[in-house]
Amino acid sequence: MVVEPKAPIVEMRQITKTFGSTRALRGVDFTVLPGEIHALLGRNGAGKSTLVSCLSGIVAADSGRVRIGQADIIANGESYAAALRDEIAHVQQTPRLFDLLTVAENLFLENPAVRRRGWVSHRQMIARAAQVLETWGIEISPTALAGQLGAGTRQLLEIIKALNRGVPVMILDEPTAALSNAEKRVLFDHVRALKAQGVSFVYISHHLDEVFEIADTVTILRDGQTVTERAAVSSLDVETIADLMMGQKTQRSVREDFTDASAPPLLEARGLRLGKGTVDFQVRKGEIVALAGPVGSGKEDLAMILAGHKAPLGGRVFSPSGKLPVIGLVPTDRHASGYVGLLGVRENVTLGGLDLLSGGLGFIDRGREAAHVGDLARRTNVIAASLEQPVGQLSGGNQQKVVFARALCRDPQVIVALSPTRGVDVGAKEQLYGLLRDLAAKGMGVVVVSDEEDEISQLANRVVIVFEEEIVGELVGDYSMKDLILRMEGVA
């Protein structure tokens, strides 16, 4: 029997898109078959989000042809979002839930349970939402307000909402960024089940391990152009993909140890109460220490308390030398609390040390500001048109570098970085790792909170395992990747 090749469900040809002077897409071809999980890869700024936005109609392409199923849609600058509503669901990087609506209302906003005469039945909607939450193993009330939920739950709800729409093509842009390992497993199970029913997925991720686990095919973009189109994932390995994304051979860095064991700790915590348990912790000069553990373990709370951004339920944070060091913070969600998108690089960085740059009478000393911000932008490798370019326009990697520059604005002795490379491509990742190592080499104490084994093993000289608001173990020195993975999975 001859197997007929399936007709594509998505066909994009020669798509171009320019934003001002940025040529985001320069003649990109992209094809997806029915029932295929197609990974779309590329460095930050390669054009992935723009391409899928042209597909879902959020952005109108300048030129090119888009075909979905049998329907030819000419991308001639007109918005065709309405035509696509029944064909495509697009889950974007940042959840777009309505904070003041309940979980149930958010889930069924587009197809609410309706009784006779068009009244919405809240009782039915809540019952249906409870059912959905149970299948996904999410332990929250359907009547909770979306604004009160954690990042992981918000992201899952956004995905569930899209999956429930029953469309043939789903775009998932960095869907696991805020998810725990367990939540990721549940998501992948659902994705596989829908794939078996013939649903196609466009999957954008900076986690290559996920791509190997879930995707069938891969397209790689570089500088707005296709460098690999629809290759079988099984025909590629991680190094080849990284090289294709970068356009050159990538050098993986190795961890170094700059810990000054002879000096007293820079920062110490004793008897800290995060919840149930108490925690003792210290970080030394030149040390890179990672806090690892499942979502909800308390590792983020511990980091925020150390950084002085959250009060503990008990216990104290102090410095053996008497004076608390200056601490820089890289918060976990850069979109929500890391930068102000409409402000430029200069203003964002200055926000980290307004008082320091004050020239008296509450005015900023512009000369000092320009020199200091320029220096920080260079050290953190920020690439922007100018220091005045709005940070919202920068690629994810450059936005994160601005967040680092802001954290360094006051010349801290300790830096606390939560998920320091979330949503950041391999190239920018290496640069940020280089920066953190550099800071440690100069004697700074570095505390990193991470869910990524690879990141931890490349950076941290010491890994502190947090579980149920207590420290349950530690890996020091020459620990292996296997030790780390086992400890992070809860095996003692």
Ligand X SMILES: Nc1ncnc2c1ncn2[C@@H]1O[C@H](COP(=O)(O)OP(=O)(O)OP(=O)(O)O)[C@@H](O)[C@H]1O
Residues that bind ligand X (CB under 6 A): 19-20, 22, 24, 42, 44-50, 393-396, 425
Query: In whole angstroms, how close is the CB of 100 to ligand X at the nearest point?
Result: 27
Query: In whole angstroms, how close is the CB of 193 to ligand X at the nearest point?
Result: 27
Coarse DSSP helix, strand, coil percentages of the chain, rounded to the nearest 5 percent: 35, 25, 40
Contact, 15 vs 66, CB < 8 A? yes
Of 403 and 440, the one with the shorter C-beta distance to ligand X is 403
Query: In whole angstroms, how close is the CB of 424 to ligand X at the nearest point?
Result: 8
Strand, coil or helix: 27: strand
Q: Supply φ then ψ for residue 40, to 5 degrees.
A: -110, 115
Of 171 and 447, the one with the shorter C-beta distance to ligand X is 171
Of 215 and 475, the one with the shorter C-beta distance to ligand X is 215
Of 278 and 399, the one with the shorter C-beta distance to ligand X is 399
| Exposure on the CB side of residue 454, measured as CA atoms within 13 A | 13
3-state secondary structure 264-288: CCCEEEEEEECCCCEEEEEECCCCE
Query: In whole angstroms, how close is the CB of 393 to ligand X at the nearest point?
Result: 4
Contact, 50 vs 24, CB < 8 A? yes
Query: In whole angstroms, how close is the CB of 10 to ligand X at the nearest point?
Result: 17
Contact, 287 vs 462, CB < 8 A? yes
Of 394, 391, 400, 396, nearest to 432 (Cα)? 400
CA dihedral 325, 407, 306, 155 (to 10 degrees): 180
Of 87 and 425, the one with the shorter C-beta distance to ligand X is 425
What radius of gyration do the chain's Cα atoms show? 24
| Exposure on the CB side of residue 460, measured as CA atoms within 13 A | 30
Query: In whole angstroms, how close is the CB of 13 to ligand X at the nearest point?
Result: 18
What angle (nearest 5°) sits at the alpha carbon of residue 85, between those of residues 80 and 88? Answer: 100
Query: In whole angstroms, how close is the CB of 194 to ligand X at the nearest point?
Result: 23
CA distances from 275 to 139, 272, 296, 464, 465 (A): 19, 9, 11, 17, 16
3-state secondary structure 428-468: HHHHHHHHHHHHHHCCCEEEEECCCHHHHHHHCCEEEEEEC
Query: In whole angstroms, how close is the CB of 173 to ligand X at the nearest point?
Result: 7
Q: Supply φ then ψ for residue 51, to 5 degrees.
A: -60, -50
Of 46 and 304, the one with the shorter C-beta distance to ligand X is 46
Contact, 200 vs 171, CB < 8 A? no
Contact, 27 vs 64, CB < 8 A? yes
Of 202 and 266, the one with the shorter C-beta distance to ligand X is 202
Of 20 and 360, the one with the shorter C-beta distance to ligand X is 20
Which single residue is written with the structure tokens 């309405």?
82
Of 49 and 102, the one with the shorter C-beta distance to ligand X is 49
Query: In whole angstroms, how close is the CB of 426 to ligand X at the nearest point?
Result: 11
Of 107 and 172, the one with the shorter C-beta distance to ligand X is 172
Query: In whole angstroms, how close is the CB of 420 to ligand X at the nearest point?
Result: 15
DSSP 325-340: PPEEEE-S-IIIII--
